[in-house]
């Protein structure tokens, strides 16, 4: 079928298989151009492997370190006349390229929060890899059904305590408005968000993997967090999602205890703000990202997911010094948080309006990245051609 983008707000309802493949190939080329990662991972499990930071982690491990990878995610294949999700097509392309390169790659599609998918993953590791030496935890989800209690939790994106008013942009139209968000009314909103995006499920994964004997000696595990500038604190770091990130970060100590007898180590890496399916859903953040892109591109220090993850692997996780901050976290948001960068973004933030946004921000770059997530707006792809919506992920039958 011919597949064009169809958007509803910050959601794109269609994805383009060949465009997603192009996206994956570009990321692979980037990783290869950086050369092999010294003492990198060899057998890797990526939970949340189909888009964003998780996909970039998988690509960095495979093409930067010849790693065998198992990817877990929640995506939909296409059916006749109806395209699947971008993460499905990304994975199809990833597996094709990995196989061509002689690299093991298999994938599991299902709810990573469930015991059943954990069990399936462990069986696959036992059958094909024996053990894994790196576990990347990169889930981003609005809901989680708790595997022990069956309770279904939904996260919320709200400030805590005070009403929050700030600028936001509709990135399709470039219209800048003030958005006003009420704080949470109930403690349960905070608790639910922690239940979805906090550290419990990461801990459950590591407990189960350990109990099954599939973690190699010296195993590493990493999960991703965000801090960002003060202007987004009320909606991010000091909001409900920030409480979940605090919980995720606190889980590092628990997991380090679990991994002690495996000589293993766990990390949280604080990553840069980037356009992904998850971040486009957060109010205020897309406007911040548009200004940030402008400033970082002008300074020649802009990075996308793949640049971030390649650097995380080569210069932090597998370097002699992971360069932890005072809270024990890896910081690949170091360039975003540079004082000169933040000062310029803050200045632009005060100035930005509907009238000047196209010139003082990189809204165009934001939009392009957004459409690229779904395989659109790649040069060299003819979007008027028939496209194969039935593209399969080789290892999932």
Please check if 93 is assigned to a binding site. Answer: no
Binding mask 221-250 for ligand NAI (x = CB under 6 A): ---xxx------------------------
DSSP for 334-376?
A: TTTT-HHHHHHHHHHHHH--TTTHHHHS-HHHHHHHHHHHTT-
Residue 75 makes contact with ligand NAI by CB under 6 A: yes
CA–CA separation, 21 vs 24, rounded Å?
5
Binding mask 11-50 for ligand NAI (x = CB under 6 A): -------------------------------------xxx
CB atoms within 10 A of CB 390: 15
Residue 54 makes contact with Na ion by CB under 5 A: yes
Please check if 245 is assigned to a binding site. Answer: yes
Binding mask 110-129 for ligand NAI (x = CB under 6 A): -xxx----------------
CA–CA separation, 98 vs 144, rounded Å?
31
**Between 215 and 373, CB nearer to ligand NAI:** 373
Coil, helix or strand for 320? Answer: coil
Q: Which residues pair with 170 in a beta bridge?
A: 175
Active-site residue flag, 236: yes
CA–CA separation, 348 vs 233, rounded Å?
18
Residue 83 makes contact with Na ion by CB under 5 A: no
CA–CA separation, 255 vs 257, rounded Å?
5
Q: Which residues pair with 176 in a beta bridge?
A: 169
Please check if 75 is assigned to a binding site. Answer: yes
Please check if 304 is assigned to a binding site. Answer: no
Catalytic-role residue among 137, 236, 288, 318: 236
Q: Which residues does the annotation place in the binding site for NAD(+)?
A: 48-53, 74-75, 111-112, 139-140, 245, 274-276
Catalytic residues: 236
Interacting residues with ligand NAI (CB under 6 A): 48-54, 72-75, 87, 111-113, 138-141, 224-226, 271, 273-274, 276-279
């Amino acid at each position: 079928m011919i597949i064009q983008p169809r958007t509803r707000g910050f959601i794109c309802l269609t994805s383009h298989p060949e465009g997603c493949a192009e996206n994956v190939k570009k990321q692979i080329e980037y990783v290869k151009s950086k050369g092999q990662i010294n003492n990198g991972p060899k057998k890797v499990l990526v939970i949340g492997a189909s888009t964003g930071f998780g996909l970039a982690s998988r690509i960095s491990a495979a093409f930067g370190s010849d790693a065998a990878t198992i990817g877990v995610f929640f995506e939909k294949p296409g059916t006749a006349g109806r395209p699947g999700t971008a993460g499905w097509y990304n994975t199809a392309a990833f597996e094709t390229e990995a196989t061509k390169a002689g690299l093991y790659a298999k994938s599991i599609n299902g709810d990573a929060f469930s015991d059943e998918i954990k069990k399936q993953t462990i069986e696959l590791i036992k059958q094909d890899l024996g053990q894994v030496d790196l576990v990347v935890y990169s889930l981003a989800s609005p809901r989680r059904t708790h595997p022990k209690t069956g309770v279904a939790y939904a996260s919320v994106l709200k400030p805590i305590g005070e009403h929050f008013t700030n600028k936001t942009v509709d990135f399709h139209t470039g219209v800048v408005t003030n958005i006003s968000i009420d704080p949470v009314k109930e403690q349960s909103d905070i608790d639910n968000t922690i239940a979805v995006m906090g550290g419990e499920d990461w801990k459950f994964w590591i407990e189960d993997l350990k109990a099954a004997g599939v973690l190699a000696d010296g195993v590493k595990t990493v999960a991703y967090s965000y801090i960002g500038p003060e202007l987004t604190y009320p909606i991010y770091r000091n909001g409900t999602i920030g409480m979940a990130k605090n919980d995720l970060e606190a889980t590092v100590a628990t997991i380090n205890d679990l991994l002690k007898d495996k000589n293993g180590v766990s990390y949280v890496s604080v990553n840069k703000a980037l356009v992904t399916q998850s971040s486009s859903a957060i109010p205020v953040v897309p406007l911040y990202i548009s200004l940030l892109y402008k400033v970082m591109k002008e300074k020649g220090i802009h990075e996308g997911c793949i640049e971030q993850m390649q650097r995380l692997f080569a210069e932090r996780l597998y370097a002699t010094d992971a360069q932890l901050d005072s809270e024990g976290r890896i910081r690949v948001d170091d360039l975003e948080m540079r004082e000169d960068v933040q000062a310029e973004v803050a200045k632009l933030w005060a100035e930005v309006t509907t009238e000047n946004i196209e010139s003082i921000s990189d809204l165009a770059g934001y939009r392009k990245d957004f459409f690229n997530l779904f395989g659109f707006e790649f040069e060299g792809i003819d979007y008027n051609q028939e496209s194969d919506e039935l593209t399969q992920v080789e290892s999932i039958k």
